[in-house]
Structure 1
Amino acid sequence: MIVPVLVSACSASGDNTDNPASGNGLERTSIKVSILTTIDSAPLWLAQDGGYFKAEGLEVEPVVVASGQAALTNVISGNTDIAISSYMPFFVAKATGTADIQLVCAATSVSDKSFAIVATPNSPVKTIFDLAGKRIAMTAKNTATDLLAKSLMQDHNVDSTHVNWVPVAFPNVAAALTQNQVDAALLPEPFITQFAKTAGAIPVIDVNTGATKDFPMSGYGATRKWVQANPKTLTAFQRAMKKATSDAINNRAKIEPLLVKYAKIDEDTAKLLTLPAFGSELDPRPIQRVPDLMLQLGALTTPVNAASMIAPQPPA
């Protein structure tokens, strides 16, 4: 879920003294947020372009990064205040003691046809039972593409230990499939729709089944120190995101132009692709599924309590 780049500054966000709050009572009136140029970021773009942040007295500067890990690194270093990522890096940071991360709001969960294992018609992979012993593209070990594929295989009693996992960035998967470098790949949108057109890729199995049905995919995080120092600023951010997310859910037409503008998805694909399940509110019960799956599959070596990582949420 990574590609084109928006131009934005990457200097350190600094402390409160170089960002004096105005009469609205916020600790900070300007913050930086590490984002990815993916569908997951669409509600933030809507909040920015639609004036939802401005209505809360907040100016948000998006800082585009290439991965969730890079987004997390920016937050840990203080270069940005908040970051969007798949949940995996947040839980790894917590489990390893790298950073005390708080989840500040949700972003997306898996929906029907928004994430799938795909293959080309000439691939030996026709069903999930064909995956054993084959070459499967993933972005990196212990990422969502790795863990969700393994979970799907486990659900169907397919041995994932004999799979040849091949690291391939999402934009390069179509070429890897057509040039017979891999037999299958686990992809999110918009790549499912794009590669159906460019490589003839067809779904083998939808991720939104079994143990990964409605699986939480991404959210926004900040350090506990920042959350505790900026409670009013955080609440303003959360309120704006809640409104933008609600509008994204209820009016797809507001999202499609933003996917073209910021994610550089062509208009036809933006109209055809399946959106993930957007959501801004954090419920510890479904979120706990993420560290539990990571622990089960060896991406974590110690349990993590998701509820302890959820920052204060704004009143309903």
Structure 2
Amino acid sequence: MRRRLGRLGAVAASVSLLTVTASCGLLGGSDDSAAPSSGGLEKAKIKISIMPTIDVAPFHLAMKNGYFKQEGLEVETVTAPSGQASVTKMLNGEVDIAYGSYTPFFIAKSKGAADVKLVADASSAGPNSTMVVAMPNSPVKSVKDMAGKRVAITGINTITDTLIKSVMKTNGVDYSGIQWREFPFPEIGAALQRGDADAGFLTEPFITQAARSVGAVPIFDTATGPTQDFPTAGYGALGKFTNENPKTLAAFQRVMQKATNEAADRSKIEPLLVEFAKVDAATAAVTNLLTFQSAMDASRLQRVPDILAEFNIIPNKIDVNTMIAKAPAA
């Protein structure tokens, strides 16, 4: 779980064992900058669903620094417990843009549930940032012990179980009998301590927090072999929204690119973990960060639906190019 989920999917200044609450993310609340002017945007007020993961650190950085308001955007956030829940909010029209692991976006597309568009990348899995962890007394000591065990994840058919299946397959371990147990990221450490699961998938800073709070130990990194540097999470919207609001889309993409560039400076991220995720400075300093992304790279993202088709999570391969929402040129 150390390579950037997102969990697998999100939230560089976001992860703590705090209770997930609606309408503000773990990494911060509302943007308190001066009121914006709409600047000709089709929709100046937008609602975005996020998750308590480290992947969304650039988003929270943008909120904290007022980058959305500088573009004339007023953003309301809603927190979801999993990528599937976040994408469902988008499909139901509850939010304009949803952050989540890529898996639910491609599943929705494969089922014809909606015209799903990808509007911004978020992260890819880095070394030791997306891991399976367990308690020291767990029967799971390595990936070889995973067959038939109870495994805590944020949701079935998300990046969390997909990465686990891939590593198990690579190591010749049967994943068909896994008993998946669903919990939000902040609750997985406690679930392991109670014995509700034999192992669990976590991203940072939950990996470090679970180690310090309940004594969980890392079992294996899920971003290795075929899933090394694997795209984990991003932002999506319905085609109706992107078609009707091209200027709004472009403004959102500019903000996310600006914040993502800034997030490359780790010193900008660690204070957010301390301030909003309520982790101590020592934990923030040793947390393995994901690789933050923003620009949509079709060739890189194509790895996601390809692996989903491999595991029969989607019935047919999907051409990522058809899903990328391109804002109009300035």
Same fold (TM over 0.5): yes
Structure 2 Cα separation of the partners of residues 315 and 204 of structure 1: 47
- Segment drifting more, 32-41 vs 105-114: 32-41
Question: 1:152 is matched with which residue?
Answer: 167
Residues 1-316 of structure 1 mapped to structure 2, 5 A cutoff: 3-5=19-21, 7=23, 24-249=39-264, 251-313=265-327
Q: CA deviation at 1:268?
A: 3.5
Structure 2 Cα separation of the partners of residues 185 and 79 of structure 1: 30
Give the number of the structure whose alpha-carbon radius of gyration is greater: 1
Q: Is the 8 A contact 1:37 1:262 kept in 2?
A: no
Amino acid at match of 1:108: S
Q: Is the 8 A contact 2:246 2:328 kept in 1?
A: no
Structure 2 Cα separation of the partners of residues 217 and 51 of structure 1: 26
Give the share of equivalent positions with the same residue, in percent. 49
> Structure 1: where are the runs of 5+ without partners?
9-20
Q: Is the 8 A contact 2:81 2:154 kept in 1?
A: no
Q: TM-score, normalised by structure 1?
A: 0.87
Q: Per residue, is there more helix in 1 or in 2?
A: 1
Q: Give 3-state SS (helix, strand or coil) of 1:160's partner.
A: coil
- Segment drifting more, 36-45 vs 255-264: 255-264
Q: Is the 8 A contact 1:166 1:182 kept in 2?
A: yes
Tell me the number of residue pairs that the alignment of Structure 1 and Structure 2 aligns.
303
Q: Is the 8 A contact 1:137 1:167 kept in 2?
A: yes
Q: CA deviation at 1:70?
A: 3.0
Structure 2 Cα separation of the partners of residues 282 and 7 of structure 1: 27
The verdict on how the C-alpha distance between 1:311 and 1:202 changes in structure 2, with shifts beyond 3 A counting, is same
Q: Give 3-state SS (helix, strand or coil) of 1:290's partner.
A: helix
Structure 2 Cα separation of the partners of residues 141 and 7 of structure 1: 24
Q: Give 3-state SS (helix, strand or coil) of 1:245's partner.
A: helix
Q: Is the 8 A contact 1:39 1:263 kept in 2?
A: no
Q: Give 3-state SS (helix, strand or coil) of 1:174's partner.
A: helix
Q: CA deviation at 1:265?
A: 3.8
Q: TM-score, normalised by structure 2?
A: 0.84
Q: Is the 8 A contact 2:38 2:73 kept in 1?
A: no
Q: Aligned-residue CA RMSD in angstroms?
A: 2.3
Q: Is the 8 A contact 1:138 1:169 kept in 2?
A: yes
Q: CA deviation at 1:313?
A: 5.0
